[in-house]
């Protein structure tokens, strides 16, 4: 289940994967600029409308209060050992445009079947695109929370489910994640539409360039996946409504200042088509395989790709959407930017016919993507 977030984030230097250039330091923010969000707040589906009154911490937030709130809400990271020596696959995308296309297509297929995650390297996105986006990221997280409310769309959850989650907010506090997030919805980087149009100019230009580049890599991967499954090259795109728009989450993870590790993002699967992720050098992303957690270590210049629930449904489970999580570093901040390829709400999600058989019975009933998402969260509410 995707949990609602709770983040008490004190800003410090962001250690970014510079690729070519280093970003300027954030500088120390004042207590008035520090975002205070928790599981007990009220969320809306269209804007980030935050209730800043936090139980014992009424009125202006003091620096001394932040550590107390963070400690009260942070979930200790599980202490089970990680699986050493395993790494998610690396796929060289330069071969997608060569006579060796069939080899990389098969590598992508194997990675989706066995892992549900892989690194994509040699994707042809210029370093400057990443550098500009990280700088914009650095600046946008300096904005006060109130200013972000004009473009931060809040959780990607159906409104009626959100209302029920808010009713359960006290019970859900134990699932609080420790991170700060800005979410952008229905972005079409070709037309500068969606919530990105409401962002500051310093962010909008680099963001549209960045999101278009990641989205187009995602589309290229969907084509390769379709061909590997023996269907038309655009099958997965068509099955998910040929959606040109994406969603995005920008995450900032703070260390828990007592030196312990905490959960930055609880175990979950992505309820979408495909995720293309850029992360900094800190690490902390982990994938579950054979009941063991595997570190997705930062690989400079790479994109991290993971299969969403829509592809798992379309392939009748051949391609796996797997549990993953983020464990906060005890001393370092972590930054990441996700590009989410999403189906249109009226897309009918159904399996490729030849992937359904007596040996491989249908895993999901046919239905629209909107009903798929709604049913997912409705079932999760019955925990």
Which pLDDT tens digit goes with each residue over 139-193? 999 888 888 877 876 655 555 655 655 555 555 444 455 668 888 888 888 876 6
Say what the pLDDT of residue 163 is: 60
Say what the pLDDT of residue 144 is: 86
24-38, 85-99, 290-304: least confident range? 24-38
Burial-class residue 51 by CB neighbours within 10 Å (0-12, 13-18, 19+). exposed
Q: What percentage of the chain exceeds 70 in pLDDT?
A: 67
For residue 33, what are the domain limits? 7-380
The number of folded domains in the chain is 1
pLDDT at residue 263 tops 50: yes
**Residue 1 included in any domain:** no
Which tokens is 56 given?
């014992």
8 A C-beta contact, residue 153 and residue 184? yes
Confidence band, pLDDT 50/70/90 cuts, at residue 307: very high
Say what the pLDDT of residue 335 is: 94
pLDDT at residue 195 tops 80: no
In angstroms, rounded to a whole number, what is the distance separating the alpha carbons of residues 280 and 334? 7
The whole-number average pLDDT for the span 129-144 is 94
**Residue 2 included in any domain:** no
In angstroms, rounded to a whole number, what is the distance separating the alpha carbons of residues 117 and 305? 6
Confidence band, pLDDT 50/70/90 cuts, at residue 53: very low
Long-range Cβ contacts of 76-81 (<8 Å, 24+ apart): 76/260, 76/261, 76/262, 76/263, 77/260, 77/261, 77/262, 77/263, 77/327, 77/328, 78/293, 80/293
Sheet with 274-279, strands from edge to edge, namely: 90-92, 117-121, 303-307, 274-279, 334-341, 246-253, 180-187
Please, what is the end-to-end C-alpha distance for the chain in angstroms?
Answer: 9
If you search the block for the tokens 């187009």, which residue do you land on? 216
Condensed to tens digits (0 to 9), the pLDDT of residues 67-76 reads: 333 333 344 4
For the chain, the C-alpha Rg in angstroms (whole number) is 20
Tell me the pTM. 0.76
In angstroms, rounded to a whole number, what is the distance separating the alpha carbons of residues 152 and 21? 28
Query: In this predicted model, which residue has the larger pLDDT, 53 or 63?
Result: 63
Helix (H), strand (E) at residue 227:
helix 201-228
Helix (H, G, I), strand (E, B) or coil at 205: helix
**Residue 73 included in any domain:** yes
**Residue 290 included in any domain:** yes
- The residues, ordered by sequence, that sit 6+ positions from 33 with a Cβ below 8 Å of its Cβ are 11, 142, 144
**Residue 19 included in any domain:** yes
Nearest to 215 by CA among 156, 272, 269, 274: 274
The domain that holds 313 is classified in CATH as 2.60.120.330
Going 254 to 257 to 260 to 262, the CA torsion angle's sign is: negative
pLDDT at residue 295 tops 70: yes
């Amino acid at each position: 289940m995707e949990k609602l977030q709770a983040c008490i984030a004190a800003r410090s230097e962001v250690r970014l994967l510079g690729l070519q250039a280093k970003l300027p330091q954030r500088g120390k923010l004042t207590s008035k600029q520090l975002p205070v969000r928790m599981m007990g707040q009220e969320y809306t589906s269209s804007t980030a409308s935050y209730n800043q009154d936090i139980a014992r911490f009424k009125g202006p937030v003091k620096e001394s209060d932040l550590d107390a709130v963070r400690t009260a809400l942070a979930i200790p990271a599980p202490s089970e050992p990680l699986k050493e020596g395993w790494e998610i696959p690396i796929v060289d995308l330069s071969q997608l445009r060569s006579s060796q296309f069939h080899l990389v297509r098969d590598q992508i297929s194997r990675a989706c079947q066995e892992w549900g995650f892989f690194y994509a390297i040699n994707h042809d996105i210029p370093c400057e695109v990443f550098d500009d986006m990280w700088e914009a990221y650095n600046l946008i997280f300096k904005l006060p929370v109130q200013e972000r409310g004009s473009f931060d769309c809040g959780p990607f959850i159906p409104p009626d489910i959100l209302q029920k989650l808010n009713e359960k907010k006290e019970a859900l506090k134990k699932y609080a994640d420790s991170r700060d997030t800005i979410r952008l919805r229905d972005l079409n980087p070709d037309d500068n539409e969606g919530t990105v149009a409401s962002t500051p100019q310093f962010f909008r230009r680099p963001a549209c360039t960045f999101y278009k580049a990641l989205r187009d890599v995602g589309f290229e991967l969907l084509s390769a996946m379709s061909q590997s499954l023996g269907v038309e090259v655009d099958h997965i795109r068509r099955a998910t409504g040929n959606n040109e728009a994406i969603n995005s989450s920008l995450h900032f993870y703070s260390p828990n200042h007592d030196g312990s590790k905490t959960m930055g993002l609880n175990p979950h699967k992505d309820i979408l088509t495909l995720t293309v992720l850029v992360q900094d050098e800190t690490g902390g992303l982990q994938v579950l395989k054979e009941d063991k957690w595997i570190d997705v270590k930062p690989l400079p210049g790479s994109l991290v790709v993971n299969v969403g629930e829509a592809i798992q449904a379309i392939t009748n489970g051949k391609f796996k959407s797997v549990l993953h999580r983020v464990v906060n570093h005890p001393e370092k901040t972590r930054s990441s930017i996700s590009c989410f390829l999403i189906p249109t709400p009226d897309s009918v999600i159904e399996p490729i016919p030849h992937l359904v058989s007596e040996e491989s019975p249908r895993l999901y009933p046919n239905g629209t993507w909107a009903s798929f998402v709604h049913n997912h969260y409705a079932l999760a509410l019955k925990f």
